[in-house]
Structure 1
Amino acid sequence: MEIVAGETIAYNSTDIVFSPYGNYWRQLRKICTLELLSVRRVRAFRRIREEEVSAFVKHISEYGIGSVVNLTKKIYPLTNSIVARAAFGRKTRNVEDILSAMAYVVQHAIGLSIFDLYPTIAFLRVISGMKAKAEKVCTDVDRMLNSIINDHLEKKVGPMEGAEEDFVDVLLRIQKENNDLEIPLTLDNIKAVILKQQR
């Protein structure tokens, strides 16, 4: 499933995880290091982290004294919510669907399949049904990401007043400015990078 996931879910292996080492991979790494995951940007998202953790603590405090709380099940949605808000700028109706789709991909990407042993035998993808499942997930996720990107493109001037640029804003700005890019970013490249941030 890992090879199939790279080709379909990762937009023909154009995210930083599945992309082969080369000029494009180095360019993505530079964008992630200098723009998306810089110290300044991480500090800028402090408010998001504080809001989400505060809501999390309030939720936990509502349990009665002596109640048993499974923190593992609670912390995973918390981290997903923080990352999603940093990536998309706000809580959006598509986040839960995207996270659910990505959980499906991760669940099926781990482990060893017959196709991993013989990747050149293409018909194994069809027999196993992996390619069809991956393509369906990809179609659903692509539709959701298009909706999110269109929402950002409809903003007149960058992020809303007083709001920090989210990952989508940054990638769209880099694509528009196209400064010092050896390989121009396409919308599929942007979607692949966004998905990487959600995993």
Structure 2
Amino acid sequence: MTNEIQRIRSAMEREFDPSFIMCDEHQEVTSPCGKYLLVTDVFGTTADPKFPSIVVAIVRKIGTGEVLATIKRNDDRLFFSWVARNNHDYLLFPEDLEGQSVIDLTERRIAGFASEGGDFIWTEFHPSHDTTKLAIVGCYWACPYQVTVYDFREPMMLPLPIICQFDLPGNNARFKEWESAEVFTVIDDQGQLHTYNVS
């Protein structure tokens, strides 16, 4: 697969104008570990200044205010997650709605991937307890939600390898938890528990 992330980044830069900021969309989120602050603002584009199209996300180190990463996203819906693995802190924050982006906050590096065929939208993030796997709840365009489990042993090597995929048992089903490194559970809209083995 060809990585289209640079093309997508360039397109956002061409369309971005800081004067089209939507002041009522400002958000600030502190990481669970308390070390980082994620600051996001939403902007219109030169093509449509009043439509929320680009998010600018800045990650700062709490205590010093130092900027660790700045990233743009081509959709105003904020799907992201913080993950700690092997003494590194990561922020999963896809730049492309249908892509993958991982920020290594410890090393201050950003990896991104997007392709024309990779149209799976990440909406929920559930790392296994040992953080070797990442269960993502998401969907393909106009399709039911499903769980895709990725190999997360090398977080900066994108695209993440897919281990397996499962359809959710109904539109209102929700991910419950990882019970072990190989097993997770989902609850359907009737309250029934479903168990999935990824090995």
| TM superposition score normalised by structure 2 | 0.23
Between Structure 1 and Structure 2, which shows a larger proportion of strand residues? 2
Q: Which has the higher helix share?
A: 1
TM-score (normalised: structure 1): 0.23
